[in-house]
Structure 1
Amino acid sequence: MGKNKRKVHTQKEEKQAEKVIKIVFVSLIILALVLVVSFSFFG
């Protein structure tokens, strides 16, 4: 039973890690878009 709980915990951690990675990627893409837009305006 202890192993089962540990498995669930690791699954939760994996999902949370995926969420964090997705957030990081989205924020990087948004930053890149903002940079491109600002360069096209001020460049």
Structure 2
Amino acid sequence: MQISNVMSRDVQIIAPDQTLRDAAATMKRLDAGVLPVAEKDKLVGM
């Protein structure tokens, strides 16, 4: 099985300056366990 078969293609990200409340609300809305953090098109955390 390839990663492309199980990966998410429409990835939602959050900026590092957003609040924890924003991140939690987004994760709840998406039913996601993790949320990538990106700044200027660069992944800076999860």
Q: Which has the higher contact order (CA 8 A, sep 6+)?
A: 2
Superposed pair shares fold, TM > 0.5: no
User: Which has more strand, going by share of residues?
Assistant: 2
Structure with max Cα Rg = 1
Q: TM-score scaled by structure 2?
A: 0.28
Q: TM-score scaled by structure 1?
A: 0.30
User: Which has more helix, going by share of residues?
Assistant: 1
